Amino acid sequence: MMVKKKAKLIFKHNSFEILEEGDHVLCAISGKEIKLKDLNYWNVDLQEAYFSPKEVKERVKNLKR
């Protein structure tokens, strides 16, 4: 069994670079664990990961305030 470990990433425009090995990152909005294999949403400028389009929408809404 693999021990759960949070990865440290650098988010790029169409990919991400793994700085520290791990199996997941945390959503910047919800705090939910996102397995690296399921990671599809992130913000390059803010260097944040998001669980789903719902959290992306929430972040964008908050930035416009």
- The predicted pLDDT at position 1 comes to 52
Asked if 47 contacts 10 with a C-beta cutoff of 8 angstroms, the reply is: yes
Whole-angstrom Cα distance, residue 8 to residue 14?
17
- The predicted pLDDT at position 32 comes to 98
Would you place residue 2 in the very low, low, confident or very high pLDDT band (cuts 50, 70, 90)?
Answer: low
Residue range 26-58, pLDDT digits in tens = 999 999 999 999 999 999 999 999 999 999 999
Count Cβ neighbours within 10 Å for each residue of 37-60 and write b for 16 or more, e otherwise.
eebebbeeeeebbbbbeebbebbe
pLDDT above 60 (res 12): yes
